[in-house]
Amino acid sequence: MTGVRTVNRTIQRMLLRRRLALLAVGYLALLSMLGGVALWISGSRSAYGRKESRANGNLEQALRLSASYVEMETANRGYLITGNQTFSQTFLEAYRNSRVNVARLQAGLSDSLSTGDPPAYDRFRAVASDGAAWRAEAGAEIAVRKSRGQPAIQKVIGGHVGAPQFDRLRVSLAALSARLETNQRWMTINREHRARQLAALVVAFPIFGFAYTVIAAIVVNRWVLHPIRAIAAAARQVIGGDLSATVPSLGATDVAVLGSNVDEMRSTMVARLNEASQAEERANRAREAIEQSTTLVFQLRSELASELGSFPEGWTAAAELVPAEGYLAGDCYDVSLVSPHVLGVIVLDIAGHGAAQAITALKCREILRAALRVAASPSRALDVLAERLGDLQSNFLTAFVALIDTRTGSCRYSNAGHPPALLATKNEVVQELSPTGPLIGPFHSTWRTETAEIEPGGKLCVYTDGLTEARDAAKIFYGMERLASLIITLPCEVAEPVVKACFEDLRAFSQEQLHDDVTMVLICRECEKN
């Protein structure tokens, strides 16, 4: 029992891929074992078949040897008894021929039995010894018949000189034949037994395979499907609003880590919600105070939609921000030079809209603007913002940050869960600059910096999801495809007319109050002059 518990603990600590590899190895081992047994049985059956064939040959030669001795004995008696010279010569010729056959058959049996069947070979040597003794006496009788004539041989026949010796030879031949027949029957039985075993293995092979497959399916369900279903069910409870539902850690180590990470995220969300509920009253009072101050509202609005400065020759930029409600939005943007030849682009979308979100958006923009001037990359600027996000008391936001070299058109960007920016060429080809990491929120995340190129005649369009998710009277979304089609069809020598045309198309499409803040920033690079 201790050994079984040790094996169970070892399996529980194994990663999922190693468990599945263990199942595969077990399956291959089963196939190899059954295949090896099949090969052994097949080889054994073939060996018994060869031995059976050899035993049949030996038995046949032994029976022919026995027949040849009988023919010799018959010819010998015929030669001795007949008085007719013609018949005597015929019997003598038959005797000699049988003797040749005996010698040939004994030589063949000697070669076959000396290596394959020691007990049978011992009986064969007895046959050879008795045969030699009888042939010597038979030869002596024939010699007497030739030298002394018929009267002398009658005395020999009357004394039965060779009969006892031939009887011993008969016994030896019978013993040899019996041994060879037993051996042949034994080889046949073994060959047929191996054939039955092979047939049974052929039937058992798919049965073992099916049984192993069923066991593997049960094990995979226990290792993979059951833990994932349990984790998914708990995650659905959390998504449905039951934040008290604990996400279990089950199954293999990596699957259990997945459940633990999801539960850790749930715990973080619960903690953030508790903090938010405690600060909700303060936030409401602050928002009311801000919204009551018309001057401050207009100032915040002007700050959110910052003025765009001058840009290097061949580059223009335009932007527009439309709040979903009132004058304040959770969106914010900035396009400015961070060095004489490097253009910084920032577009933010804070979850929600209103005064509190507007203030948070402005703080985030200033953090990113400062970080872009000292950070080595957009992704590092996002790291700085994520580190400060707890101080800003904001739950979630998306951001697109880019650094554009106005001399080469090289664009280094990071996309934190923001809608894909659209990079259009003068050849009406649109490239999506998709997220390079998750949105920024109350959990640890990292982002990548990717590189694209704004060619001469190209446009970079950065927008918030309020634009593409605007709906018409039939509840159909405006969509990224419609925006992309409009962008590539409008000339971009100057950015501002393109932005105005896009918003006019959006208003004509929607004809209703927007449900989310809408922001669009467009960077245009002029075509090269001939």
pLDDT at residue 279 tops 60 = no
Q: For 277-288, what is the mean pLDDT?
A: 54
Could you report the per-residue pLDDT of 405-419, keeping only the tens digit for each?
Answer: 999 999 999 999 999
Indicate the number of domains in the chain: 2
Residue where a domain stops, chosen among 195, 229, 252? 195
> Does position 475 have pLDDT exceeding 70, yes or no?
yes
Q: Mapped to the 3 state alphabet, what secondary structure does 416-466 carry?
A: ECCCCEEEECCCCCEEEECCCECCECCCCCCCCCEEEECCCCCEEEEECHH
Domain boundary among 195, 220, 248: 195
Contact predicate 226/19, CB 8 Å: no
Name the band, by pLDDT with cuts 50, 70 and 90, for residue 175: confident
Residue 520 lies in a domain: yes
Identify which has the larger pLDDT, 191 or 160: 191
pLDDT digits (tens, 9 = 90+) for 10-60: 555 556 667 777 777 877 887 888 788 888 888 888 888 888 888 888 888
Span 490-506, average pLDDT: 89
Q: Is residue 266 part of a domain?
A: no
pLDDT at 300: 44
Q: What is the pLDDT of residue 303?
A: 46
- Reported as a pLDDT band with limits 50, 70 and 90, residue 285 is low
- The pLDDT value recorded for residue 304 is 44
Q: Rg of the Cα trace of the chain?
A: 52
**b/e 26-47 (16+ beta carbons within 10 angstroms → b):** eeeeeeeebeeebeebeebbee
Helices 16-81 & 163-220 angle (0-180, nearest 10): 170
User: Of all residues in the chain, what percent carry a pLDDT higher than 70?
Assistant: 80
Rounded Cα gap, residues 379 and 357, in angstroms: 23
Domain co-membership, 176 together with 322: no
Residues 163 and 300 in one domain: no
- Would you say residue 7 lies in a domain? no
Between residues 138 and 419, the one the model is more confident about: 419
Residue of higher predicted confidence among 31 and 312: 312
36 within a domain of the structure (yes/no):
no
Task: Please state, in angstroms and as integers, the Cα–Cα distance from residue 495 to each residue in 90, 306, 352, 513, following that order.
Answer: 131, 16, 28, 26
Q: Look at the block and give the residue holding tokens 């703080």.
A: 363
Which whole number is the average pLDDT over 282-292? 50
Confidence (pLDDT) at 345: 94
Domain boundary at 195, 214, 237, which?
195
CATH code assigned at 178: 1.20.1440
Tokens of 278: 């405690």
Measure the CA–CA gap between 467 and 353, rounded to whole angstroms. Answer: 15
More confident residue, 295 or 408: 408
User: Average pLDDT, stretch 65-85?
Assistant: 78
Same domain, 312 and 457: yes
CA angle, 17 as apex, 438 and 36 as ends, to 5°?
A: 160
Q: Which amino acid is at 218?
A: I
CA-CA distances (angstroms) from residue 512 to 74, 181, 502, 506? 129, 106, 16, 10
Alpha helices in 332-436, H assignment, sequence order: 355-374, 378-392
Give the Cα separation of 338 and 348 in Å (integer): 18
302: pLDDT strictly greater than 50: no
Specify if 104 maps to a domain: yes
C-alpha separations of 497 from 93, 124, 490, 522 in Å: 130, 117, 9, 10
Q: What confidence tier does 318 reach under pLDDT thresholds 50, 70, 90?
A: very high
Q: Which is more confident, 354 or 246?
A: 246
Distance CA 273, CA 395 (A): 9
pLDDT value, residue 408: 94
Q: Can you give the pLDDT at residue 150?
A: 55
**Phi-psi label, residue 361: left if phi above 0, alpha if psi -120 to 50, beta otherwise:** alpha
Amino acid present at 133: A
453 pLDDT exceeds 80? yes
Grade residue 123 by pLDDT with cuts at 50, 70 and 90. confident
**Domain of residue 146, residue span:** 46-195
With respect to residue 208, please indicate whether it lies within any of the assigned structural domains.
no
Any idea what the CATH number is for the domain that residue 502 is in?
3.60.40.10
In one-letter notation, the amino acid at residue 58 is: N
Distance CA 442, CA 392 (A): 11
Q: For residues 335 and 343, what is the distance between their CA atoms, to the nearest angstrom?
A: 7
Asked if the structure places residue 263 within a domain, the reply is: no
| pLDDT of the residue at 161 | 53
Task: Tell how far CA 161 is from the center of its chain.
Answer: 88
Q: Is pLDDT at 85 greater than 70 in this prediction? A: no
For residue 327, the model assigns a pLDDT of 55
Q: 190 forms bridges with which residues in the sheet? A: none
DSSP secondary structure, 51-97, as one string: HHHHHHHHHHHHHHHHHHHHHHHHHHHHHHH---HHHHHHHHHHHHH
Whats the size of the chain, residue-wise?
530
**pLDDT higher for 144 or 133?**
133
Residue 26 domain-assigned (yes or no): no
> Which of 64, 171, 185 minimizes the C-alpha distance to 123?
171
Q: Is the pLDDT of residue 281 over 60?
A: no
Q: What is the mean pLDDT of residues 99-117?
A: 82
